[in-house]
Amino acid sequence: MRKEKERCEAALRRALEGATVALVSSGDPGVYGMAGLAIELAAARGWDVAIEIVPGISAAQAAAARLGAPLALDYACISLSDLLVPWETIRARLAAVAAVDLVVALYNPRSMRRVAQLEEAVAIFRKHRPGSTPVGVATAVGTEDEHISLTDLEHVLEHDVNMRTVVLIGNSTSRHMGRWFVTPRGYGIEGGMK
């Protein structure tokens, strides 16, 4: 965390000196990224720096594109990291989202020291959705370490998950469709898998 602040501050200082500076985040700098930190720091320091934010592809979207179309309908992004948000708050969000049948993308599902959160999240979703609910596990999407698994709620905990993973849990309409994971938009396509 300290490093993120320092990187932001260094970039802003260079910009104040007149340089054109790019501060690079992986994914979308506006989603669990550094865009807000840069704005906050500039405001807190009283630095009048012109800031432009360039959106990017967030991990959930990159994962979704590899998996099919899991996020085609209403969905939520929730980080399981309790470093900056109390676990009670995160748990309440998981329960609320699970109860109203939203697809969910779980960011930061597990770290070296933090392993119980994903288990608890899966248990919460199991109260509302069957074990056969499609789940995508996508790690380091777009890098040479990329690894994508298509599984379900019952088996997701058997898969390797780390801080570079995003876990996508389908809703009651989501389906495996061949090698794909799709949340149908309800167009009423006739016929089924042939």
Site residues for a second copy per CB under 8 A? 1, 4-5, 28-33, 35-37, 39-41, 43-46, 53-58, 61-62, 64-66, 68-79, 84-85, 89-90, 92-93, 96-97, 99-102, 177-178, 180, 182-187, 189-194
Closer residue to a second copy, CB minimum distance, 54 or 158: 54
Closer residue to a second copy, CB minimum distance, 154 or 180: 180
Closer residue to a second copy, CB minimum distance, 56 or 154: 56
**Scanning the structure block, which residue is given the tokens 């965390």?**
1
For the CA atoms of 97, 83, 6, 106, what is the dihedral angle to 10 degrees? -30
Shortest Å distance, C-beta 102 to a second copy = 6
Shortest Å distance, C-beta 52 to a second copy = 8
Shortest Å distance, C-beta 10 to a second copy = 15
Q: At residue 66, what is the residue type?
A: R
Q: What are the angstrom distances between the C-alpha of 28 and each of 60, 62, 129, 153, 172?
A: 10, 11, 30, 27, 28
Closer residue to a second copy, CB minimum distance, 32 or 125: 32
Neighbours of 143 (CB within 10 A): 10
- Angle in degrees, 0-180, between the axes of helices 2-16 and 35-45, rounded to the nearest 10: 60
